[in-house]
Each structure stands twice: as structure tokens, then as C-alpha cells.
Amino acid sequence: MPGLGGIRHAAALAGNATAIEIILQGKTFSGIEALEMGLVDAVVPKNEVIPLSISFARALPVHILNAERKFYIHKFLKPLHATK
């Protein structure tokens, strides 16, 4: 999503050469490749995405961005978890 610092973050995580290849050439890659580049924290089967996302959100330090943490848990994760 433009404007959210994706290019800067990709370069910081994967290195300038890889970021340029991904962004300028439109290179695609698998989830495993993204994990190896450091662009994602985990690659899991589809049925484990929500439980793992909830666990990541709950593990966020409370003293850092507490308002945003609560917003995302209540707005996005809690309704999805409640439907099961």
C-alpha cells in the first residue's frame, strides 16, 4: 500500500538489491521465500492464520502503542475469534 513505508521497510528487512528487484521488477515470491528474506514472521497453513495473528497481537508489549494494540485486537481480531 503506497505511503506506508513499504519500500523503506523492504530495503531494511531484505536489503536494497532485493527490495529493488521486488519493487521495480515486480518480482513475486512464495511465503517461504518471504520468510527467508525476513519480510514475514511466519508461514502457516490457512487454518492457523487467525489463531497465530491473535497470539502475535496479544504478545505485543502493552507499554508500546497500547491504544493501537487495543484498537486492532477489538476491531479486527476479536470479531473473527468470536465467530468460531
Residue 10 and residue 31 share a domain = yes
Specify if 1 maps to a domain: no
Tens digit of each residue's pLDDT (9 = 90 or more) over 11-50: 787 888 888 888 888 888 899 988 888 888 889 999 998 8
Number of domains the chain is built from: 2
What are the residue ranges of helices labelled H in 6-82? 6-14, 16-25, 31-37, 49-59, 66-72, 78-82
Question: pTM of this prediction?
Answer: 0.55
Domain that holds residue 63: 46-82
User: Which grid coordinates belong to 29?
Assistant: 515470491
Task: Indicate the pLDDT class of residue 2, thresholds 50, 70 and 90.
Answer: low
Residue 53 and residue 27 share a domain = no
Tens digit of each residue's pLDDT (9 = 90 or more) over 58-80: 887 766 566 666 666 666 665 55
User: Which grid coordinates belong to 15?
Assistant: 536489503
